[in-house]
Amino acid sequence: RESGRSRGFGFVTYGSAEEVNSAIRSLDGVDLNGRAIRVAPADSRPKREF
Protein backbone atom coordinates (compact mmCIF):
# COMPACT_ATOMS: atom_id res chain seq x y z
CA ARG A 1 0.00 0.00 0.00
CA GLU A 2 1.56 3.26 -1.08
CA SER A 3 0.00 6.28 0.62
CA GLY A 4 2.85 8.72 0.04
CA ARG A 5 3.09 9.37 3.79
CA SER A 6 6.23 8.66 5.74
CA ARG A 7 5.99 5.78 8.18
CA GLY A 8 7.82 8.03 10.63
CA PHE A 9 9.51 5.40 12.74
CA GLY A 10 12.39 5.66 15.16
CA PHE A 11 14.27 3.70 17.78
CA VAL A 12 14.92 4.61 21.42
CA THR A 13 17.27 3.01 23.95
CA TYR A 14 16.26 3.02 27.62
CA GLY A 15 18.38 2.47 30.70
CA SER A 16 16.12 -0.07 32.37
CA ALA A 17 13.26 -2.47 31.73
CA GLU A 18 11.10 -0.33 34.03
CA GLU A 19 11.56 2.68 31.74
CA VAL A 20 10.72 0.54 28.70
CA ASN A 21 7.50 -0.74 30.25
CA SER A 22 6.51 2.74 31.40
CA ALA A 23 6.96 4.16 27.89
CA ILE A 24 4.92 1.35 26.37
CA ARG A 25 2.08 1.78 28.88
CA SER A 26 1.91 5.56 28.58
CA LEU A 27 2.55 6.08 24.85
CA ASP A 28 1.30 3.06 22.87
CA GLY A 29 -1.82 4.03 20.93
CA VAL A 30 -1.56 7.76 21.72
CA ASP A 31 -2.70 10.10 18.95
CA LEU A 32 0.13 12.20 17.50
CA ASN A 33 -0.90 14.68 14.82
CA GLY A 34 -3.85 12.54 13.80
CA ARG A 35 -1.96 9.24 13.79
CA ALA A 36 -1.97 6.59 16.50
CA ILE A 37 1.60 5.78 17.46
CA ARG A 38 2.80 2.27 18.20
CA VAL A 39 5.35 1.77 20.96
CA ALA A 40 6.78 -1.73 21.31
CA PRO A 41 10.11 -3.48 21.73
CA ALA A 42 11.94 -3.86 18.42
CA ASP A 43 11.90 -7.31 16.84
CA SER A 44 15.33 -8.77 16.33
CA ARG A 45 16.10 -9.85 12.79
CA PRO A 46 18.40 -12.64 11.71
CA LYS A 47 21.75 -11.45 10.39
CA ARG A 48 21.74 -11.19 6.59
CA GLU A 49 24.35 -13.08 4.64
CA PHE A 50 25.45 -12.02 1.18
What pLDDT is stored for residue 21 in this prediction?
A: 96
Domain assignments of the chain as residue spans, ordered by start: 10-41
CA distance 47 to 1: 27
Which string of DSSP letters, residue by residue, matches 20-48?
HHHHHHHHTT-EETTEE----PPPP-PPP
CA distance 48 to 37: 28
Q: Alpha-carbon Rg of the chain, whole angstroms?
A: 14
Q: Beta-carbon neighbour count of residue 12 at 10 Å?
A: 9
Q: For residue 1, is pLDDT > 70?
A: no
Q: For residue 44, is pLDDT > 90?
A: no
Q: For residue 6, is pLDDT > 70?
A: yes
Q: For residue 3, is pLDDT > 80?
A: no
Mean predicted confidence (pLDDT) in 3-27: 90
pLDDT per residue as tens digits for the range 16-41: 999 999 999 999 999 998 999 999 99
